[in-house]
């Protein structure tokens, strides 16, 4: 099943048959949540705002930390192991990119954390305590996420297709499924 189809339900073991596709699907879900954040900034009192805020909050608190762990604890180290060390005076774009992405993960934790209280307020039918700061953090978070996901989709995930071996992908799938309390035997 593709990452897109898994968006409407909790993933099952079958969703990890292609762990790279699962990661692409996670990026797509994040992109849609960013679009919804922009909608909330435009009208945090809209009738559907509490439902949208609750879904984004759920994603930020549950799914995004799992996704970060999938990348930082499993995918990035696998890619580093399968990447030849660059010759002196040269560089590997992938290895440089992984360092940038690790820093951005720390940044998005900080920016995402600043969104939690306003999102909880909106999910509860209230206005954010400081709407201007909410919009500020929201814009920063969305901008970071859009660039971050573009970099991962353009550099990291294609490199995973090229550099990872079948046993790497199987291990990645098992670890990602286990992180979600699932047994993957593929």
Domain total in the chain: 1
Query: Which pLDDT value is given to residue 51?
Result: 97
CATH for 88: 1.20.120.520
14 occurs within a structural domain: yes
pTM: 0.87
186 occurs within a structural domain: no
185 occurs within a structural domain: no
What is the mean predicted confidence (pLDDT) over 90-110? 86
34 occurs within a structural domain: yes
How far is 15 from 182, CA to CA, in rounded Å?
A: 10
- Taking only the tens place, the pLDDT of each residue in 22-32 is 999 999 999 99
184 occurs within a structural domain: no
How far is 82 from 166, CA to CA, in rounded Å?
A: 12
Residue 133 belongs to domain spanning: 5-179
- Taking only the tens place, the pLDDT of each residue in 134-181 is 999 999 999 999 999 999 999 999 999 999 999 999 999 999 999 999
- Taking only the tens place, the pLDDT of each residue in 7-18 is 557 888 889 999
**pLDDT, the chain, mean:** 90
78 occurs within a structural domain: yes
Query: Which pLDDT value is given to residue 4?
Result: 39
How far is 97 from 7, CA to CA, in rounded Å?
A: 27
The residue written with tokens 């939690």 in the block is 116
23 occurs within a structural domain: yes
The first and second tokens of residue 112, run together, are 């995402």
- Taking only the tens place, the pLDDT of each residue in 101-132 is 999 998 777 778 899 999 999 999 999 999 99
- Taking only the tens place, the pLDDT of each residue in 28-55 is 999 999 999 999 999 999 999 999 999 9
How far is 131 from 39, CA to CA, in rounded Å?
A: 14
17 occurs within a structural domain: yes
């Amino acid at each position: 099943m593709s990452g897109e189809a898994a968006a409407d339900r909790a993933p099952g073991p079958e969703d990890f048959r292609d762990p790279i596709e699962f990661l692409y699907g996670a990026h797509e879900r994040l992109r849609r949540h960013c679009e919804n954040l922009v909608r909330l900034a435009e009208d945090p009192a809209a009738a559907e705002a509490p439902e949208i805020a609750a879904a984004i909050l759920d994603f930020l608190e549950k799914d995004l930390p799992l996704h970060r762990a999938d990348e930082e604890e499993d995918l990035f180290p696998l890619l580093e192991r399968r990447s030849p060390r660059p010759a002196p005076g040269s560089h590997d774009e992938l290895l440089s990119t992984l360092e940038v992405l690790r820093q951005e993960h720390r940044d998005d934790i900080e920016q995402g954390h600043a969104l939690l209280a306003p999102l909880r307020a909106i999910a509860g039918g209230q206005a954010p305590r400081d709407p201007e700061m909410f919009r500020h953090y929201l814009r920063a978070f969305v901008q970071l996420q859009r660039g971050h996901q573009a970099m991962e989709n353009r550099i990291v995930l294609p490199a995973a297709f090229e550099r990872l071996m079948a046993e790497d992908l199987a291990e990645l799938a098992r670890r990602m499924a286990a992180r979600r309390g699932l047994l993957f035997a593929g």
